[in-house]
Amino acid sequence: MRKLSNDQARRIAVAAQGLAEPRPGGRIDRRHYRRLLERTGLLQLDSVNVLQRSHYLPVWSRLGAYPIASLDHFTARSGEMYEYWGHVASLLPVARYPLFRWRMDAIRPWPRVQRVMDEHPGYVEMVFEEIAAHGPLTVSDLSDPGARTGPWWGHGKGKTALDWLFSKGRIAAYRNASFGRLYDLPERVIPAEHLEAPAPERTDAYRELLLLAARHHGVGTATDIGDYYRLHLPTARPLLEELADSGALQRVEVTGWGQSAYLHPEARLPRQIEGATLLSPFDSLVWERSRTERIFGFHYRIEIYVPEPQRVYGYYVLPFLLDGELVGRVDLKADRKTGALLVRGSFHEEGTDPARVVRALAPELNGLAGWLGLGRVQVDANGSLAGHLARLV
């Protein structure tokens, strides 16, 4: 069995995610987006907008400043992307649509959906017919959307019905300029060649998704690879072994992991990695926190839902990747009223050189502020890097 050091596994993982090469120069267009999606497979969606919507940030991390409007068109109206439950809510290449038909078929009503079905017989079908007749529609466009049941995730019966129809694949969705979902019939959103393509049965779809996830990771454990597309791990484990037996994946032993791992045959091992970028909390390089800690020695938790007095680093903290290692973290907020990128906390990791970290971090913060249309960077006096960083931005 081939053996890898953790350092080698780390370089493989960073390269597989498209973060081991310089950002492109010149105009960014859909060719860059296609290549990026070949690397990451998807862009995770999230509604938090403290800095920027989460799916925009992985693109900036890899491509640098790009026109957001062009990505919006590529993801929503070009026919090349669609939204579904990939990792969680995700934007995926539309060619992958058939690989998730099994998930649409297998999903069963969750309690909130069942309550709507029981308490409002016929309502879900009424919503479907309204979408079919008048789509695209948002939830507020429905003739009877129902009332929200809470300020955060409280969903009225209209949103619940739309979520169910969307999850079953009976309707499709894309985002408007304010990030709201527009719902329509699949045939009006998904190109026919993908909508009507034969759907592999569940086991074959699992094999394809596991191979894709292994390629996106470069190297990973069964848990790493299965989590990428949120696959049922007891089903995925024996299929990974089959793929390794057939030579589609290679079994490897990584120093310090304490569990078997799989290497994709296309995985690249750079001799060294140079460059710096900030990562969204929802970037696919770091979203599986135990993997992040195992590979990078970087303990990372998003603290949005932690009461403020109990937060360690801040509300919306971005890891800082420098030369293939996670060396720091910054708590950021875009204050659009004052035109400032607020650095509410800035920290280097134990064992790193704070001067080296801050020299690389300052231009990244300036570049991020410019891309967001913010005229200045304001550094609060919080964290091990704050004093030096304030003098450089």
Q: What is the pLDDT, as a whole number, of residue 76?
A: 87
Residue given tokens 């191979």 in the structure block:
211
The span from the CA of 365 to the CA of 391, in Å, is 13
The span from the CA of 176 to the CA of 260, in Å, is 43
- What is the pTM (predicted TM-score) of this model? 0.94
The span from the CA of 41 to the CA of 332, in Å, is 26
Please calculate the CA angle 222-228-233 and round it to the nearest 5 degrees: 40
Q: What is the pLDDT, as a whole number, of residue 152?
A: 45
Q: What is the pLDDT, as a whole number, of residue 314?
A: 96
218 within 8 A of 16, measured Cβ to Cβ: yes
Q: What is the mean pLDDT of each run of 10 residues along the chain (393 residues)?
A: 96 98 93 96 93 96 96 90 96 97 97 96 98 95 80 74 98 90 96 96 98 98 97 98 98 95 98 97 95 97 90 96 98 97 98 97 98 97 96 93
59 within 8 A of 72, measured Cβ to Cβ: no
Q: What is the pLDDT, as a whole number, of residue 150?
A: 52
Concatenating the DSSP letter of every residue in 61-107 gives HHH-S--HHHHHHHHHTSSSEEEEESSSEEEEEGGGGGGGHHHHHH-
Across-strand partners of 325?
A: 322
The span from the CA of 239 to the CA of 228, in Å, is 15
Give the SS3 label for residue 121: coil
**Alpha carbon separation from 165 to 24, 80, 93, 133, 160 (Å, rounded):** 40, 22, 21, 15, 9
309 within 8 A of 352, measured Cβ to Cβ: no
